[in-house]
Amino acid sequence: MSTATPAGPATPADPDPASPPSPWTRKHLLGLEELSREEITAVLDTAESFSEVSNRSRKKVPALQGRIVFNLFFENSTRTRTSFSLAAKRLSADVQDFTASVSSISKGETFIDTARNIEAMGCDVMVVRHPTPGAPHLLSQHVQSSIINAGDGAHEHPTQGLLDLMTIRRAKGKIEGLTVALVGDIAHSRVARSNIWGLLKLGARVILCGPPTLVPRSLERLGCEVAHRLDDVLHRCDVINVLRIQFERQQRALFPSVAEYSHFYMMTQERVRKAKDDLLILAPGPINRGVELTPEVADGKHSAILDQVHNGLAVRMAVLYLLGGKAPEAE
């Protein structure tokens, strides 16, 4: 997908004394629901600056030199944990991974005691993923470190929401006025919730599309349109974000079969042909080829799936930096 970087306000790599100071003053990043439009824009603009750092021959900047970042993951992760680790390393922090399955949690230690012990080793930032909604919020009340929510149950996944926004803004040059459909398992998706808050605050129209059991009408109260037939709304979409069915969070069968789900909601080449010529297709990953989208669509020219992964690194550098780093120095 071609990219058009918007000319945002000054970034740390490009200081402009005439520009207003960054509106970011928070200690934690717990969700996009509580962020203002200005705060979200500040993260996206800062991420653009760190994206430029990734193109340099020397990709490391000293912003977090001497700081310690802990990854506390109580749920599986591929992209998010790796991306946070690499982001922290590029900012020159020391990074330590903590894996719940091989820790003293299995000997009965509580979540908060574990975090306090980690903090006693000198931790500055904790990146927390947990199956219970609100777990990072709870931790933020019991430790001194900055907390970044890396996914709490079906609640929020703010850095995924931010990297999706960055990918849309780069490809389309704006977010305001776009129509974005989130397709699939909205009810159990933390990615959906972070996208909804971020997109609405930046002025997009949001369509939530999927079977009634996964997309209840009550979601309209968030300010979104709800649709149960993808073919009815396809032609209006500038962006489609294809979400994975969260089988691990469903307590019972919520649709007759995967084959039937795919028949109504899978992004296929035929559906792409019926959509706008410049349709942008996102998927947070892991993708299930042949369930939520076909291999041709996943690898096709409308897909920005790998751009999302690339932008995720810049977004996570930006978030770590805004929670306590220093500006990248011009090379």
Query: Which chain residues interact with ligand ASP by CB under 6 A?
Result: 151, 157, 190-191, 244, 284-285
Nearer to ligand ASP, 291 or 327 (CB): 291
Nearer to ligand ASP, 68 or 180 (CB): 180
| HSE-up of residue 251 (Cα within 13 Å, Cβ side) | 1
65, 184 in Cβ contact below 8 A?
no
* Ordered strands of the 68-73 beta sheet: 94-99, 68-73, 125-130, 146-152
Nearer to ligand ASP, 3 or 288 (CB): 288
Q: Which of 242, 240, 309 is nearest to 280 (CA)?
A: 240
Q: Which of 298, 302, 279 is nearest to 287 (CA)?
A: 298
Would you list the DSSP string of 142-159? T-SSEEEEEEETTTB-HH
Can you tell me the distance from the alpha carbon of 122 to that of 67, in angstroms, rounded to the nearest whole number? Answer: 8
Nearer to ligand ASP, 129 or 205 (CB): 129
Q: How many residues in the chain?
A: 331
Mapped onto helix, strand or coil, the DSSP state of residue 106 is: helix
Nearer to ligand ASP, 41 or 311 (CB): 311
Closest approach, Cβ 96 to ligand ASP, in A, equals 21
Point out the residue whose Cβ comes nearest to ligand ASP: 244
Nearer to ligand ASP, 1 or 191 (CB): 191
Closest approach, Cβ 139 to ligand ASP, in A, equals 18
Closest approach, Cβ 93 to ligand ASP, in A, equals 23
Can you tell me the distance from the alpha carbon of 299 to that of 284, in angstroms, rounded to the nearest whole number? Answer: 14
Nearer to ligand ASP, 48 or 164 (CB): 164
Closest approach, Cβ 141 to ligand ASP, in A, equals 24
Return the DSSP state at 20. P
Mention every residue, 6+ apart, whose C-beta is less than 8 A from residue 80.
129, 150, 151, 157, 159, 160, 312
The token pair that represents 202 in the structure block: 């930046």
Pairing of strands 205-209, 225-227: parallel
Can you tell me the distance from the alpha carbon of 63 to that of 12, in angstroms, rounded to the nearest whole number? Answer: 11
Nearer to ligand ASP, 41 or 241 (CB): 241
The token pair that represents 183 in the structure block: 């397709």
The token pair that represents 93 in the structure block: 């922090």
